[in-house]
Amino acid sequence: MPGGVAALATAVLDLVFPALCPVCETRLGAGRRDPLCGGCWDAIARIAPPYCDACGMPGPPCCARCAAEPRVWDYARSAARYEGPLREALHAFKFGARRALARPLGDLLVEQCAAALPQGVACVVPVPLAWERERERGFNQARLLAERVATRLGVPLRPRWVARVRTTQPQSDLSAEARWANVLGAFRASAAAAGRHVLVVDDVFTTGATLAACTRALRDAGAARIGVLTVARVV
């Protein structure tokens, strides 16, 4: 559908069935990033330099934790802080089945982080969701985000390069220490990753336990360089 026709169709639909923002439930208007309203989109607390190159935490180029204990991955970037409208949008996305949010959230990732990514990314790999939760939810939020990122970056999506090989508890139910033990050895990576620069995509960076487990599997498979990209970062 041509752009002008699509815009007209959207305007007509908004008149008949007013679109509401899934975060604040107000009618969408100027500055909208469907399905987010302009106000919620602008209120997202984006992360800009300076930040830790290793984990993406706002602050010095190398935070105290990464200086004391180097990460398994080579670099990490996050688009915004896990708070306010972004936190609510991610909850609506994951637990409210608002799949349309993958578009603006994926765009947020690219618009905020793409310029800071090293050259040579060969592919994008989503963090796999436990099959029980994917069956209940009907989708893997990380894969939907990764699809958008891969399309915007113009690189292949490789969802099968990392797979879960055992059942784990939901990370949100566990303490920070227990999260690391919960996902230890839970992933296996394809030998196809050998020698490649892989970008791993997930929704939220909390402790980094799940991302570390995925990265370790890719490293064991021979990946040459591994980056981590998340929509939100717990600060």
* Top-confidence range, 18-22, 53-57, 176-180: 53-57
pLDDT of residue 132: 86
Tell the burial category of 206 from Cβ atoms under 10 Å away from its Cβ (0-12, 13-18, 19+).
Answer: middle
pLDDT of residue 145: 98
Work out the pLDDT band at 14, boundaries 50, 70, 90.
very low
**CA neighbours within 13 Å on the CB side: how many for 82?**
17
pLDDT of residue 18: 59
Residue predicted with more confidence, 28 or 2: 28
Tell the burial category of 200 from Cβ atoms under 10 Å away from its Cβ (0-12, 13-18, 19+).
Answer: buried
The pairing of beta strand 162-164 with beta strand 225-233: unpaired
pLDDT of residue 184: 83
**In angstroms, rounded to a whole number, what is the distance separating the alpha carbons of residues 211 and 14?**
40
Per the prediction, the chain carries an average pLDDT of 90
Q: What is the 8-class DSSP label of residue 33?
A: B
Average pLDDT over residues 3-32: 68
Least confident residue range of 5-9, 63-67, 124-128, 146-150: 5-9
CATH number of 45-233: 3.40.50
**In angstroms, rounded to a whole number, what is the distance separating the alpha carbons of residues 193 and 214?**
12
Work out the pLDDT band at 17, boundaries 50, 70, 90.
very low
Work out the pLDDT band at 6, boundaries 50, 70, 90.
low
In this model, does residue 1 exceed pLDDT 90?
no
Percentage of the chain exceeding pLDDT 90: 76
Q: Render pLDDT for 69-91 as a digit per residue (tens, 0 to 9).
A: 999 999 999 999 999 999 999 99
How is the chain split into domains, by residue range?
Answer: 1-43, 45-233
In this model, does residue 25 exceed pLDDT 50?
yes
Q: Render pLDDT for 168-178 as a digit per residue (tens, 0 to 9).
A: 777 777 787 78
In this model, does residue 126 exceed pLDDT 80?
yes
Work out the pLDDT band at 16, boundaries 50, 70, 90.
very low
In this model, does residue 9 exceed pLDDT 70?
no
- Tell me the C-alpha to C-alpha distance, in Å, between residue 35 and each of 99, 118, 174, 203: 10, 31, 32, 17
pLDDT of residue 12: 45
pLDDT of residue 2: 57
Average pLDDT over residues 79-106: 96
